[in-house]
């Protein structure tokens, strides 16, 4: 796993030649729907080891250390994605095994979102979280491509189709991503539909379209980007975590009217998905940043900071935006990974992987 050591280099060219030949063969036979690719790891092996030590249980569950030690579909999807980026097939299998055994227990192909070690049964909320489903399906698609695994492609296809069937709706000429199969539609609440802008994982949509082709994926990406551009609430012009789009967009009823922990990852998804404009990047970076270099969650009405977020995994979000908007290098102190809590650590590794893959100008 991880980077190729010199002792392993002998025979690498032969392996690549074999992989290309095998790809041609299976495509001719119509067996493999996602082509093989030989790809170097984009996550440092020591960083991935640190992450696994901190958050990966021996059973294959990713532990949310900032949320009472629960696991959830989001975390499992992130863990699978990171394992692909680290080129670690063994730990991918471990995380995937827990995910399909413990969370894929609904009857519609989506994952239950919450697994609590202190509850009996452990699945304490059977509803899904659509971002978790998308992350799992995306990771399966990437793994199928990277390791030539038709079984993973088939599993990802089933989840992608379920997302289309249960969580993608067209209303008023817009294609919307519902945060869950139940609870957020116009029939579920007076201010519905309600969306969560941080659930739009833009780089995933083309991959899911390969798995389960539909024009809805392209519409979802286009309409989602338009929506995020328009979700500019309060003096800081930031999106809310939960937005009613029944008429004119506004923060949804029953939720804190804040740019919160959900929304701090929007920059990661915009930049990784090559979505959005320099103007959007600049506005969001300014809106989420404090003068001392930290970021914060914000009350949208007043613009006042609520929780100050000093972890490098949070502070790298506006740095990514600044890099892509104006080629400003990421500060040196944000380029080194150290495991802290599950959520910022995950964001940090995904950001560093993005820079390592194709954005050396950020360094």
Contact 206, 217 (CB under 8 A): yes
Annotate 212-228 with DSSP letters as a single string: S--HHHHHHHHHHHHHH
Active-site pick, 64, 74, 87, 186: 74
State how beta strands 168-171 and 123-125 pair: unpaired
Distance of CA 153 to the CA centre of its chain: 18
Q: Nearest-CA neighbor of 196 among 247, 138, 261?
A: 261
Verify whether residue 361 is a known catalytic residue: no
- Rounded-to-integer distance, Cα 143 and Cα 93, Å: 10
- Rounded-to-integer distance, Cα 226 and Cα 215, Å: 17
Verify whether residue 203 is a known catalytic residue: no
Q: Nearest-CA neighbor of 349 among 46, 72, 40, 61?
A: 46
Cα Rg of the chain (Å, integer): 20
Contact 77, 84 (CB under 8 A): no
DSSP-derived secondary structure letter, 120: S
Active-site pick, 131, 186, 223, 241: 131
Q: Could you give the dihedral angle defined by the CA atoms of residues 320, 324, 327 and 331, in that order, rounded to the nearest 10 degrees?
A: 0
Q: In sequence order, what are the residues at sequence separation of 6 or more whose Cβ sits closer than 8 angstroms to the Cβ of residue 286?
A: 318
- Rounded-to-integer distance, Cα 298 and Cα 61, Å: 31
For the annotated catalytic residues, the residue numbers are 74, 131
């Amino acid at each position: 796993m991880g980077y190729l050591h010199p002792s392993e280099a002998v025979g690498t060219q032969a392996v690549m030649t074999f992989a290309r030949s095998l790809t041609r063969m299976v495509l001719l036979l119509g067996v493999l729907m996602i082509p093989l690719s030989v790809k170097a790891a984009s996550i440092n092996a020591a960083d991935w080891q640190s992450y696994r030590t901190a958050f990966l249980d021996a059973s294959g569950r990713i532990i949310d250390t900032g949320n009472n030690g629960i696991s959830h579909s989001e975390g499992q999807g992130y863990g699978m994605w990171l394992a692909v980026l680290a080129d670690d097939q063994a730990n991918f299998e471990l995380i995937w095994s827990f995910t399909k055994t413990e969370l894929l227990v609904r009857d519609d192909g989506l994952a239950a979102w919450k697994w609590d070690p202190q509850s009996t049964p452990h699945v304490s909320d059977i509803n899904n979280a659509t971002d978790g489903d998308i992350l799992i399906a995306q990771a399966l698609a990437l793994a199928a491509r990277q390791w030539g695994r038709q079984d993973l492609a088939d599993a990802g296809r089933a989840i992608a189709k379920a997302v289309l069937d249960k969580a993608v709706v067209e209303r008023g000429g817009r294609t919307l991503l519902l945060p869950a199969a139940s609870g957020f539609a116009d029939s579920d609440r007076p201010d519905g539909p309600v969306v969560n802008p941080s659930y739009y994982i833009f780089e995933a949509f083309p991959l899911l379209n390969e798995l389960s082709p539909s024009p809805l994926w392209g519409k979802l990406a286009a309409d989602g980007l338009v929506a995020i551009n328009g979700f500019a609430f309060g003096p800081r012009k930031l999106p809310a975590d939960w937005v009613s789009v029944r008429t004119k967009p506004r923060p949804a009823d029953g939720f804190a009217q804040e740019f919160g922990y959900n929304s701090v990852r929007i920059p990661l998804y915009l930049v990784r998905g090559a979505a959005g404009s320099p103007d959007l990047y600049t506005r969001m970076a300014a809106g989420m940043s404090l003068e001392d270099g930290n970021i914060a969650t914000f009350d949208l009405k007043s613009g006042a900071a609520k929780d100050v977020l000093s972890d490098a995994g949070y502070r790298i979000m506006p740095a990514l935006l600044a890099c892509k908007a104006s080629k400003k290098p990421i500060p040196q102190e944000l380029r080194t990974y150290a495991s802290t809590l599950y959520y910022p650590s995950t964001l940090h590794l995904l950001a560093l992987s993005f820079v390592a893959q194709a954005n050396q100008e950020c360094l």
